[in-house]
Chains A and B, each alone.
Chain A
Amino acid sequence: MAMHGMRGLSVFISDIRNCQNKEQERQRIDKELGNVRNRFKNEKGLSPYEKKKYVWKMLYIYMLGYDVDFGHMEAVSLISAPKYPEKQVGYIVTSCLLNENHDFLRLAINTVRNDIIGRNETFQCLALTMVGNIGGREFAESLAPDVQKLLLSSSCRPLVRKKAALCLLRLFRKNPDVVNVDGWADRMAQLLDERDLGVLTSSMSLLVALVSNNHEAYWSCLPKCVKTMERLARNQDIPQEYTYYGIPSPWLQVKTMRALQYFPTIEDPYTRRTLFEVLQRILMGTDVVKNVNKNNASHAVLFEALALVMHLDAEKEMMSQCVALLGKFIAVREPNIRYLGLENMTRMLMVTDVQEIIKRHQAQIITSLKDPDISIRRRALDLLYGMCDVTNAKDIVEELLQYLSSADFTMREELSLKAAILAEKFAPDLSWYVDVILQLIDKAGDFISDDIWFRVVQFVTNNDDLQPYAAAKVKEYLEKPAVHETMVKVSAYILGEYSHLLARRPGCSPKEIFAILHEKLPTVSTTTIPILLSAYAKILMHTQPPDQELQSQIWAIFNKYESCIDAEIQQRAVEYFALCQKGAALMDILAEMPKFPERKSSLIKRAEYSEADTAEQSAIKLRAQQQPSNALVVTDQPPANGATSPVPVGPLSLVMVPSMITTEDHTSTDQALSQQNGSLTKVDPQHPSADLLGDLLGPLAIEGPPGATVQSEHNAVSGLEGGPDAVDGSAIVPVEEQRNTVQPIGNIAERFHALCLKDSGVLYEDPYIQIGIKAEWRAHHGRLVLFLGNKNTAPLVSVQALMLPPAHLKMELSLVPDTIPPRAQVQCPLEVVNLRPSRDVAVLDFSYKFGTNMVNVKLRLPAVLNKFLQPIPVPAEEFFPQWRSLSGPPLKLQEVVRGVRPMPLPEMANLLNSFRLMICPGLDPNPNNLVASTTFYSESTHAMLCLIRIETDPADRTQLRMTLASGDPTLTFELKEFIKEQLITIPTAPPQSPAPAPPPAAQATPQIPPNDPAALLAGLLS
C-alpha cells in the first residue's frame, strides 16, 4: 500500500523472492539489469519518478550481492532533483553505492553545498547525512565552515543540528584541520549544555572523537559531561520519548561515560565527587529485572560505569565493589552478562590490587572455558591468560592443555601459544615446562611454531639435570603410534644429543633409540630428515664400544641419501659419512652442543611488549589489544652480539637451519675440519639466520639500535602533539618564509609550548626532516641534544643550523654536518649556560636543501626561564622570615592581573607545578590563595630562592593579585612577568611570547566566553 506506485519495484522484489534457486535469481537479475541499462541509455525519456524506481532497483540488486557497474551517474543526478522524494532517493542511494573517492561525488559537491546552506530543512538533513556518511577530504575542505555554522546556529532546529554534529565528526576524521581546537573547545563545551537530547547525543559522539584525539584541549568539556550524567541519572528534564523502558537514554549515558574515559583523570574535587555519586548510584542501584530490554539497557549503563570507575582508579572501596559485581556476573547463567563480566574482569586486571580478589574466581572462570559458547570460551581464555602468575600457572596451564584436545580448530593456535607463553613465563620447575611443551606438541602439533620447540631445546641444552629427563620423555612420546612431525624434530634433536645419558636404562641402548627414530623417517618431510641424520651421526658417535651392525646400518642410510635431491639432506649425508671415516676426529666434531647464551625468549618478549603497550593506554583501548594474539614473528635478524657469540653454527651443527645451506658454507666446512679442534666456533655474524636457535629473536622494534629507539619515541610524541591543526607555524616563521613550499607538520608553536613543560619531544617536523630535542637541566647548565632525522631515501644537503642566543644565555652548538644521509639521524649536542634571569628565548635558524627546495625555519628553543627553576619546599618557619625580609620593590613586586584565564584553583596549582614552582599548601590561611616557592639558578644570581603568592577572588576568577619576592630585582620582575604570561594565555594558543618575530595581533587578548565552564565551576566551588 505504501509503495505509492513503485509497482515495478514490488513486482521485481516478489519475482526475486519466488526464485527457486540461485540460478533463477541470477537470470531474473540479469534481465532486470539489462532493462534498467536500456532505460538509462535514452535518459531523456525518463521521468524523475522512473529514475527513482530504477535507482531503487539498482540498490536492491547491489544489496543482494550483484555488481551494478552502471547507473551511478543517474543516482547522483537525482540529488539535484527539485522534489523531495527524488532528491531523497538520490542522496540515500548515492551514499550506499559510492565510496568517498568516487569521481561522480565531486560533480555533486555544489548541489550538496547549496542544499546545506539553503533554507529547506529537509534538504539540509539529506545533504548533511550523505556528507556525514561518505564525505571525503574535498567535502571537508569545502563544507566544514557551513556545517559548523549550522551546528552552532541558534535558529536551526535540532533535527538539522544533530545531523550537522555527526557530519562534522566525519569531516573532522577526514581532515582534522576543520576543527580548530583553540576556539572549538569552548563551542564544544557550549554544545554540551544543549537541552535537546538528539543534538546532545550527536554532540557527545563528536566530543568522543575530539577528546580521543586531544583530551588536553577539551578539559572544559569534562564538567559538562559530568553535568549531563547527573541530569540523566537524576532523570531531570528528560522527555518521555527519550526514556527507554524507564531508563533515561541509555545510549547517551553510555556515550557520555565513554567520553569521560578519555580524560586521564578528574582533578577538580567537586566534579570528581559529583561523578562518583552518580557512579555509585549506578553501581548500587542496578537490579536484575524480568524485562529483558530493561535489564539489558540498565546493564549497558552499569558496564560502562564499571569501565569508567576502573579508568578513574577510584577509591579502594568502590573498586572492590566493582570486582564483587563482576564476580557475580561471571557466575550468572545469562550468557550476555557472563560474557561481559569476563570481558570486563580482564580489563580489571590492569587495576592494581585486585588481582588477588580476581584469583578467587578462578574455578568459576575455568567453568566458562568449557562453556558451549565459543564467544564465552574466548573471553575466559583471555582472562585466564591475563590473571596467570607463578602461584596459579600450573593449574591454569593444565586446564588449557586439557581443553586443547577438545577445543575448536579456530581456537587451538591461540590456546597453544598462550599456554606456551605462560608455561615459560611462570614455570615453577623446568621439567614441568618440558612436559607442557611436549604435551602441546603432542596435542596441537600443527599449531606449534618452530620457535616453541627451539626454545625447549635451548632450555634442555642449558640445564644438565634436565637432559636425561627430557630424553626419556621424548622417547616415551616417540613410542606412541601417531607422532606429530614437530615431535619427531624435537625428539631427534634431544635424543641425538642426550640419549647416551639413558644408555643404561632398559630399552634405551643406542640401537633401540636409533630404531625408534628411524621408524619415523618414512613419515616425515624433507625438512625433518636432516635432523634425523644428525641424530644418527651423534648416536653412532656415542656408541661405545662401537657397534658394527649399527654402524653399517647408519652408513647405509648416509650412502642412500648421498644422492638425495634435497641439497640439505644430501650435504649432511655426504659430510657425516665422510666424518665417520675419520675415527677419533668424529668425537670432537660431533661433541655435545655448548650452552646457549642466556637470552630472553621472544615469546616472553612479545608478551611483555604487548603488555607494556597496553599499560599506557586508556582502559578503552585495551579491548582492542585483547584481540586474539597473532602468532610469533621470527625475524632473521643477527643478534647484536652475534660476532662474539659462542654459538656454533656450521653446517655440522646438529641444528637444522635450512637457510644455512649455501656454497659458502661448504667451504667453511673444510676450514672447520682443518681446524681439528672441533670447537667449531666460526660464526658468521652477517649470516641472516646465524642465531636462529640461539633465540627466538624479538622483532626489530624492540631491540633496535639506540638511534631507532629515539626515533620511534619521537614519532610517538609527534603523534601526540601533531594535533588537529597542522599548519600553524606562522607565529614564528617570518612572513617571507611562507613561500616555502615545504609545510611543517603539526603546530610549531604548540610543539614549542609542550617542550617548555617537558624535556624531550619533537621540535619541528616537515615531510623531509624531523627535529627532536632532548634536554637535561642541572642548576644553571643545560645540555640539549638536537636529533636531526632525515625522513627520506635521499640525502638532505646544505644543512645549516645557526644559534641566535639571547644575551642571557651562553650557547654552544656542536658541529652540524652539511649532509644528512638518507633515513639517518644526526645528534647535535648543545650546551647552554644561563647567565642571568631573562624571559628572552633562543632561536635556532635552521635550513636545508632537499631537491630544489630550500627550506629555512626559525625555531624557538625551549631553553626558557622555568627550565632553570628547581622546586623547593619551604617550611613555614623559613618562609615567613624570608617573605618579611624582602620588603617592597624592587625585590618584592605586587601586581593585580586582570584578564586571567579563569580556572579552578587546583588547575592553577597544577599549572604552576608544571613550571617547577612548588605549591606550599597550608602556608596561607585563605583557601583561595596559593603560595609557592622555587629556586632559580643562573651564573650571576647563583641559587636564589623565589617566593610567590597568588590571591584569587572567588567571585571573579578573571583577576588575581600576585606578589613575587626574590633576592634579585631582575629575577623578581622577570619571574613575575613569566607567570603572568602563563596565567593570561591559553597555553595551546600561540602566545604573545617574547619571540623575536612579532606575533600576529589577533592573539593578543585571550577570548573569554561568557559562559566558560571553568568559570561556572569556579563559582560553584567557592
Chain B
Amino acid sequence: MGIRFILMVNKQGQTRLAQYYEWLTLEERRALEGEIVRKCLARNEQQCSFVEHRNYKIVYRRYASLFFLVGVDNDENELAILEFIHLLVETMDRHFGNVCELDIMFHLEKAHFMLEEMVMNGSIVETSKANILSPIQLMDKAS
C-alpha cells in the first residue's frame, strides 16, 4: 500500500515527527523507531539511501541535522520516494523560509498539516507546492 510511515529524526536520534499510515502500538513504534534510527544513522554518505528492515524498505535522506526516513513496502519505487522527501523539504522551505529542525519542532502542527496535504493513507495526494500550502496560507491569513 505504499508509504507505511514517515519519520523525522535528528542526528541524536530524537523523533521530531512521526506519522504512521498503518496502526502500530506504542511499543511497536518505539521498537521500530529505535531499530531504524540505529541502522540508518550509522550509515555514511557513500552508502545508498535504501535500507531493508523487517518487511519494510526504508528510504532516507539527510538534511543538515535532520534525517527524513520513509518506510515503504517492497512495492514502491525507491527513487520516487527519495525525491518525494525532497519535495516535502522544499515545500517546508517555501513555507518557513530556510527551514530547519527547530521550525519543524516548534511548528509541529504545520508540519502535520503539510504532510496531510501530501500523503493520505500511504499514497501521494498532491505534489504541487502551491496546492499543498494553500490551506495553511488561508489559515494564517484568517488568524
Binding site for B on A (CB under 8 A): 2-4, 10, 13-14, 17, 56, 59-60, 62-67, 84-85, 88-89, 92, 96, 99-100, 122, 125, 129, 132-134, 159, 162-163, 166-167, 169-170, 173, 197-198, 201-202, 205, 209, 239, 241-242, 244, 249-252, 254-255, 258, 293, 296-297, 299-300, 303-304, 335-336, 338-340, 372-373, 375-376, 378, 620-621, 623-624, 627-628
Contact = CB atoms under 8 A, between A and B. Distances in A.
Nearest to A247: B83
Nearest to B49: A336
Nearest to B45: A335
Interface in B35-83: 43, 46-52, 55, 73-75, 77-80, 82-83
Contact of A620 (B1, B75, B106, B126): B75
Contacts of A162: 125-126
A293 B113 contact: no
Contact of A125 (B84, B106, B110, B135): B135
B40 to A, nearest CB: 10
Contact of B121 (A169, A250, A338): A169
A166 B121 contact: yes
Given A129-B120, A197-B128, 9 more contacts: A3-B106, A17-B105, A88-B139, A201-B125, A250-B80, A300-B79, A339-B50, A375-B52, A376-B48
Nearest to A334: B48
Given A2-B110, A133-B21, A242 B79 contact: no
A335 B130 contact: no
Contact of B46 (A122, A293, A372): A372
A96 to B, nearest CB: 7
Contacts of A10: 106
A166 B50 contact: no
A311 B77 CA distance: 15
Interface string B96-114: 0000000001111110110
Interface size of B as a range: 35 or more
B78 A336 contact: yes
Contacts of B46: 335, 372-373
Contacts of A66: 26
A777 B1 CA distance: 42
Given A125-B135, A338-B48, A249 B120 contact: no
Nearest to A92: B112
5 contacts: A60-B108, A63-B108, A201-B126, A255-B124, A375-B51
A198 B128 contact: yes
A293 B86 contact: yes
Contacts of A96: 19-20, 112
Contacts, number: 172
A365 to B, nearest CB: 16
A251 B84 contact: yes
The 4 closest A-B pairs by CB, nearest first: A300-B79, A335-B48, A241-B128, A205-B123
Given A17-B105, A133-B121, A623 B47 contact: no
B87 interface: yes
Contacts of B51: 375
Contact of A378 (B33, B52, B125, B129): B52
A840 to B, nearest CB: 46
Contacts of A628: 52
A425 B43 CA distance: 36
A59 B108 CA distance: 10
Contacts of B131: 159, 198, 241
A335 B55 CA distance: 21
A13 B17 CA distance: 13
A166 B129 contact: no
Given A244-B87, A300-B77, A336-B82, A65 B33 contact: yes
Contacts of A14: 106
A3 B107 contact: yes
B120 A132 contact: yes
A254 B75 contact: no
Contacts of A304: 77, 80
Contact of A122 (B30, B47, B135): B135
A198 B126 contact: yes
Contacts of B134: 159
A96 B20 CA distance: 8
Contacts of A209: 1
Contacts of B49: 335-336
A668 to B, nearest CB: 47
A100 B126 CA distance: 24
B140 A258 contact: no
A340 B49 CA distance: 11
A205 B48 contact: no
A65 B120 contact: no
A624 B21 CA distance: 19
Contacts of A92: 109, 112-113, 116
Nearest to B31: A65
A258 B77 contact: yes
A89 B109 contact: yes
